[in-house]
Amino acid sequence: MSTSPKILLVKLSSLGDVLHNLPIVWDLRARLPDAQIDWVVEEAYVHLLEPLLSRDSFRGIDRIIPFGLRRWKKNLLRLATWREFFAFRKTLQSTTYDVLIETQGLLKSAIVCSLAKKSSGAVIAGLANATEFSGYEPLARSFYNQSVQVPTQCHAVDRSRWVMCSALDWSLIERGDAPQFYPSEFIANIPKSSVAGLCPPYVLCFHSTAREAKRWSNSNWIALGKDLSARGYQVVFPWGNAAEKAVSQLLASQISGALVPPAFSIEEAFSVISGAALTVGVDTGLTHLAAVLNKPTVEIYCDSPRWKTEGYWSDRICNVGDIKNPPSIQEILDASLKLLQQA
């Protein structure tokens, strides 16, 4: 293979999945500094990738290709939708790729691979099997020419590395080789948050998640919030939709000085998280964003396996609880105080 191959990464969504795929950009760049690396991602998550775009001080992603499937599916009969789709396909096919790495194992991602323009003998690598507690569609395998068998219990970061290493015939990257997510200069220069009402020192509490069983109980959040408030921290309960906002308001109403902030975007979340003394959250995307930014983070696992997404790369991250074994208030408080004392 050339020392400057053209590589396409396909990881469309969701927030946490995209974050845990970031390290393979730097893994690729370390061994193939002259490669072209492009990434197809759902348009809602483009902001997660923008800090990796190549610039004078480093080379990361060369091109982000937004994909609007979630929005297009709601408007299939509109002419504008099909114009956008064909424009996407034209952009995708403007480069001839030598290696395509699809780490999601879903039919929609595999179809994106099929639409891409490929060189003769191009490698199209994807998952050969499901991992526990992750979505997988076996039909996707028919779009690959290299199906990669991974352990059924495999951390999301390790799974992406497994597929990448197989695609390029590299030895597997060991977990001891800590993953890089964002450039250090980006993390060091995240601007202060302009979200109204935030008063440092504050603690972010991400209580919401897509699946109800993954939530920590309201009574636990209130007890934790009261303790942290008594210690001089402003307790902040973000939200993403009307139902989550109602829960945030309920929790905040019982904690002195607690804040329910205005809604903020993924782009604004970088600043909000960066300015926090601590983030405490359930197994959800914004909690994982705090962890990959290497900010003090307590990750709460209630009904999902800790091995799948735990932040194992830093002593600034505490992973507490496990599937069917939600942590106690005292466990979370102890982890929170440990991290606050390290700051």
Q: Could you please report the per-residue DSSP string of 187-250?
A: HHTPPPP--TT--SSEEEEE---SSGGGPPPHHHHHHHHHHHHHTTPEEE---SSHHHHHHHHH
Residue 27 neighbours by CB under 8 Å, 6+ apart: 161, 164, 173, 179
Residue 237 neighbours by CB under 8 Å, 6+ apart: 205, 207, 221, 247, 248, 249, 251, 252, 258, 259, 260
CATH assignment, 6-184:
3.40.50.2000
Question: Would you state the pLDDT for residue 75?
Answer: 93
pLDDT tens, position by position, 68-94:
999 999 999 999 999 999 999 999 999
Structure tokens at 259: 């804040």
- The CA distance from 74 to 59, in Å, is 36
Mean pLDDT of the chain: 96
Backbone angles phi, psi at 58, to 5 degrees: -160, 165
Answer whether residue 343 shows pLDDT above 80.
Answer: no
- Tell me the fold of 190-342: Rossmann fold (3.40.50)
Structure tokens at 39: 């990434």
Backbone angles phi, psi at 286, to 5 degrees: -70, -30
Cβ–Cβ under 8 Å, residues 84 and 73? no
Question: Would you state the pLDDT for residue 242?
Answer: 96
Q: Which residue has the tokens 């980006």?
A: 186
Structure tokens at 45: 């998550």
Question: Would you state the pLDDT for residue 169?
Answer: 97
Question: Would you state the pLDDT for residue 295?
Answer: 98
pLDDT tens, position by position, 36-79:
999 999 999 999 999 999 999 999 999 999 999 999 999 999 99
Question: Would you state the pLDDT for residue 175?
Answer: 81
Question: Would you state the pLDDT for residue 334?
Answer: 98
- The CA distance from 322 to 309, in Å, is 11
CATH topology of 6-184 equal to that of 190-342? Answer: yes
Give the pLDDT band (50/70/90) at residue 240.
very high
Answer whether residue 176 shows pLDDT above 80.
Answer: no
- The CA distance from 99 to 145, in Å, is 11
Domain ranges of the chain: 6-184, 190-342
